[in-house]
Chains A and B, each alone.
Chain A
Amino acid sequence: MRILFFPNTTPAFTESVLSLTPKVSLIKNTLYLDIEPTLKLFKGEENLFLKAMQLSETFSLNSHFVLTDRPEWAQALNTRPEVFLLPGKSPQLLLNLDISRLEFIGDPQKLEEEKKERTDLIRFMKRVGLKTIADFTRLSATAIGRRFGKMGVILLDWVLGNRELLLPTFVPEGLIHETIDTEELTSLESLLLELPPVLNRIESRLIGRAQMVKSLEIKFHLESKNKLQKQYHLSDPTQKGEILLKLLRELLSDLTWDAPLQSLEITVTDTVPYSPGQLSLFETGESLFSDLSQYLTRLRAKFGEAQVGFPLLQESYLPEKSWTPTWPPQEKENSHSTPHRPLFLFNPPKPCHPLSSWTLIPSENLMTEWWNKSGIRKYFIAIPPRGSRLWLYWDLEEKAWYAHGTFD
């Protein structure tokens, strides 16, 4: 068994190391990784260890760790910041430790509970002349049982590796959430510089959870106590911080705040299970679609979902409601258009005042949907003496003219 132990961890970092091994245990603030099962996958202990160190840097953790053979020894061996023990070398170091380190050997879930009993026992051991753990193990189990009781025998079993320790497996819970303190940031550029480390953390956590972001919520906390909240749906779920950065860059460049920004919260509100979706080297169609999806996501973040998409025709009498922008693109065969309708529509229709010199040719009458306020529209093709033809309508409810399209 090979155990990588971190004496100080956070739930976020713990989530991210699930990408290194599924055997992850979080006991209070300590982290135990059983890296034995994935050593082959990462082509050796060194590679896996380096990846773990990179992750700890991503989460700005101090680099305290112990790499040892058994989980029950890890806390006792944590005597200096970095303890790297090759396979089989741990027992030797353990035996040379001071007898007081016995306090930390064993099941980490019970250490707190047994603390008083262990401290009293260690004090007694010191009184009878035991200085190191080796001195303790030189005694026979019977002698230990007679002198130090049941706890003494248990400790001996832990030191000799005679007991099997089963630690609970860590399961990530809750939403992925990150906060950036922006009080000291003076410009948008400095805010954009703060984003990559945060998005790297989100990416690492997503990889650990084997999930991809489907929607994001961004909350802006302003000095005026106002909260600005934005929700974004990604057309192509992703894990990549790089893609999320592009999306946020688009979003932030278009936003304005009425008071200084105090903090920014990013929450992953919806995810989908990660599917590797390997883009084939020889299949350009797939990567083209994926690139298009990423580009569309950025455009939607900038202009809104209703303004960007591939047209999908739908049943409606109203020209502006006869289609909807969608993603992914879908082809619907049933469509109808009359030749007197233009190819370009103003959105929204522009108020307009036809001049007496214009020729108005009636084209069609439309009833709007009964649940809408406005009633009947009378459409005309307006031909001004100079300039382009327009598609106008007279709104019978509002008693107003609107230019709905142009034939230019």
Chain B
Amino acid sequence: MRPVLSSQFLNPEALQSFYGLAQVTSLPGGSKTHLAFECLSVSLKADPPAPTHFEGHPPYFIFISDEGTIYPPALKVLGIPLSRVLTVKTESSDQVWKTGLEAIQTGLFSFIFLRPSKTCPTANLRKLQLWAERKKSKVFVLSDHSLPHWTIKKKISASLPPR
């Protein structure tokens, strides 16, 4: 099996200065969940580390989904400390968006991963984007649904690396 992607395709500097909403989609053979966490892994390994408002304390990350959960042993392989990743399994996709907005508003998380099974109204997405920018959070929406381009700051697609 070919590797899906590797960190060489991510630009750590661009990732460090990015705040807002990023949509991560899958192309055939690629894994959007893997790519999103690869972004986190790259950011954690960045030297010098990205500036945060947590003043020297390692930041927390949150993963919210209504369909399931991340598989933590696989996350650990990526070098992500599990004691920093809060996982939340909601009952519906609406709750993913709602909890995501709350998580941004708390200002406790530097990386927020949302994996909803359905999309949400554009107005809510816009709210999410504005709060993400205000709180300087990196919000990754792991969804293959088409989202309005003006709410999304970055669109990252997980695909197989070129041969």
Contact = CB atoms under 8 A, between A and B. Distances in A.
A346 B144 CA distance: 17
The secondary-structure label for the interface of chain A is mixed
A311 B108 contact: no
Interface in A292-337: 292, 295-296, 299, 303, 307-313, 319, 322-323, 325, 329-332, 335-337
Contacts of A192: none
Interface stretch (A255-263, A283-291, A369-377): A283-291
Contacts of A7: none
Contact of B106 (A291, A307, A309): A291
Interface stretch (B11-19, B69-77, B130-138): B69-77
B71 A313 contact: no
Interface in A140-171: none
A88 interface: no
A296 B81 contact: no
Contacts of B1: 339-340, 381
A346 B81 contact: no
Contact of B108 (A288, A340, A341, A408): A288
A309 B75 contact: no
B50 interface: no
Nearest to B98: A302
B73 A323 contact: yes
B119 interface: no
A295 B105 CA distance: 11
Contact of A329 (B70, B83, B115): B83
Nearest to A348: B68
Interface in B50-78: 54-57, 60, 65, 67-77
B68 A313 contact: no
A343 B83 contact: no
Contacts of A307: 88-90
Interface in A229-263: none
B160 to A, nearest CB: 12
A336 B73 CA distance: 6
Interface in B101-137: 102-103, 106, 108, 115
A274 interface: no
A387 interface: yes
A341 B71 CA distance: 8
Among B34, B60, B71, B108, chain A packs the most CB atoms within 10 A around the CB of B71
Contact of B74 (A329, A343, A386): A343
A174 B86 CA distance: 36
Contacts of A292: 60, 86, 108
Contacts of B69: 344-345, 347
Contacts of A330: 83
Interface residues of A, number: 45
Interface string A384-395: 001111000000
A337 B79 CA distance: 12
B88 A303 contact: yes
A390 to B, nearest CB: 12
Contact of B86 (A288, A296, A342, A345): A296
A269 B8 CA distance: 54
Contacts of B155: none
Nearest to A386: B28
A282 to B, nearest CB: 10
29 contacts: A285-B56, A288-B108, A295-B106, A303-B88, A307-B90, A310-B84, A311-B82, A312-B82, A313-B72, A313-B76, A319-B71, A323-B72, A329-B83, A331-B81, A335-B73, A335-B77, A341-B71, A341-B74, A342-B31, A343-B31, A343-B71, A344-B71, A387-B28, A388-B31, A406-B33, A407-B31, A407-B34, A408-B32, A408-B144
Interface of A: 284-285, 288, 291-292, 295-296, 299, 303, 307-313, 319, 322-323, 325, 329-332, 335-337, 339-347, 381, 386-389, 405-408
Given A284-B54, A346-B67, 15 more contacts: A288-B54, A288-B60, A303-B90, A308-B87, A310-B83, A311-B70, A329-B83, A329-B84, A335-B73, A335-B77, A341-B74, A345-B69, A347-B89, A388-B28, A389-B29
